[in-house]
Structure 1
Amino acid sequence: MSRHLTRLALLTAAASVVLPFLAILSAALQPESNLTPRLEWPSDPHWENFATAWSSAGFASLLKSSAVIALGVVPLSLVLATLAGYGMATMELRVKGPLFALLMIGLALPYEAIVIPLYYDLRSIGLLNSYWSVILPLIGAFMPFGVFWMRSHFESLPKELTEAAQMDGASGRRVLTRVLLPTAWPALTTLGLLYFMWAWNHFLLALILIQDPAMRTAPSGLGKFVQQFGKNIPLLSAGTIIVITPIVLLYLFFQRHFVKGILAGAVK
């Protein structure tokens, strides 16, 4: 009985994820005159809706901007989160407890509370209306979770690994790069995917801090697209699929590592 309930729960969870995607795809293939698409495969799919949405919204430029920001955020965030997590997990520091508590407060800090002072600060140093005006704040905003994630991973490893390497004369940097990092690939892959997804989908900072239309990101550009084609459900659905496709493909490519990292964290 419990096995059947488990399968039913898994099927329900899978359906709750797959059905919305199928509904959006079905709506994207409907004729533009259809204002109330249903969850059914059209007899004559209008694949040209994707080309129309791509050219109307200028998704080539939007996706490029999102990729630049995401690829700028992910590597720097992973390096900083790994170094900070390693220090929090292995080093004896008097301020380690208060510093970690301060970082955890950052998890509860809403973007809405910082975006206005952030706007004036970035304008005063000449970074406003550039990719760095979004990359740097996102790195700071993602740090609390990244440090918590990597600290949990390093703390879960046997201390004998670090002690044995130190007895052999390995420095702290060598312990990290040669002993601990090889065990951290699932955790780093999962964290990198989360960082990429959050940076790609981020809307508020990109909308306020980047005013140049040529530098708009995909989510902010999609918002303008909605204002322009608010009643054209097929085109809106096609644009939505274009924006989320890179995230879906990236997840499918790293799916095994992502699930392994999530399960490892749950077991630990």
Structure 2
Amino acid sequence: MIASRRELWLGRVLLVVLMLVTVMPFVSLFVTALHESGTYPPGLAWPEVLHWSNFATAFQSAQMGKLLVSSVLIELGVVPVALLIGTLAGFAIGHLRPPGGRWIFLAFLLGLTLPFEGVIVPLYYQIRDMGLLNTRWAIILPLIGLYMPFAVFWMRAHFVNMPDDVSEAARIDGATTWQLFWRIHLPLSMPALSSLGILMFLWTWNQFLLAVVLVDDPTKRTMAGALGAFQGQWGTDIPLLCAGSLLILLPTLVLFVVFQRQFVTALLQGSVKG
């Protein structure tokens, strides 16, 4: 009993420490953003006068209205298509098990080891030859391809654990392969599909490297990619830079808070299935 109490208190202390380590950078950004523009705030010192106007100035200076539209267009071009292709491929490899499916899955696993930095140079020349530089397609098309290994791996892990009895019963009732996928397996895969969609949304929203290298116009980048141009303009104004960073982080924080329960449920479901 004593050991369990010690473990309980130790776990609580570790949770508090981890919470502080996670929250303190955001608190530091918020406090710094409230200082007077052009100053160099000392640490976490609370300002005497709260300059909420820094957020409005950062929003206007970074043209975040245009950036928000650009990020939404990129999200709409990447996430639905990547979800569709990844789900179809995961269903085929994990449930239909075609000949050579293991080798195809191995190829996707090798794709998981490929970092974005390792393909950025050949990708630049390929996008240039396609005439897509400085367009949103230069971000959308590569991201769809780069997300495929993880998307297929994620969805295949779900479909491979689906009981065969469900499919056999549907086959006996005359269901085709498409009906089997669309009417039975797809509704049952919504937890895994929603969590994958949240992950890809966050990754796309925070995509920096491809946006900076392949797109010159900041208003055609993602919001995270446009932060580089904003930093170049206001790099010496620490409060404005912190305010702009918080505005860029805000949509992802709101999304995670709203869908936190669904995301955790999907992860726990996947861990139970093994």
- 1:1-268 alignment, distance < 5 Å: 1-268=6-273
What CA distance in whole angstroms lies between the structure 1 residues aligned with 2:245 and 2:218? 19
Deviation at residue 56 of structure 1 after TM alignment? 1.5
Tell me the TM-score normalised to structure 2 length.
Answer: 0.92
Quote how far apart the aligned CAs of 1:216 are: 2.9
Q: Give the Cα separation in 1 of the matches to 2:30 and 2:19.
A: 17
| 2:77 maps to amino acid | G
Give me the TM-score of the superposition, normalised by structure 1: 0.94
- Conserved in 2, the CA contact under 8 Å of 1:129 and 1:209? yes
Question: Percent identity, aligned pairs only?
Answer: 44
- Residue 234 of structure 1: CA displacement? 0.7
| Structure 2 letter corresponding to 1:133 | A
Q: Which amino acid aligns with 2:167?
A: T
Unmatched tracts of structure 2, length 5 or more: 1-5
Equivalent residues, number: 268
Q: Distance in 1 between matches of 2:96 and 2:186?
A: 16
Counterparts of 2:45 and 2:175, CA distance in 1: 62
Counterpart residue type for residue 117 of structure 1: P
CA displacement at 1:64 relative to structure 2:
1.8
Shift of 1:40: 4.6
In structure 2, distance between residues paired with 1:8 and 1:182: 41
The alignment's C-alpha RMSD in Å is 1.6
> Within 2, Cα distance between the matches of 1:6 and 1:100?
39
Superposed displacement of residue 191, structure 1: 0.5
Tell me if structure 2 keeps the 8 A contact 1:26–1:37.
no
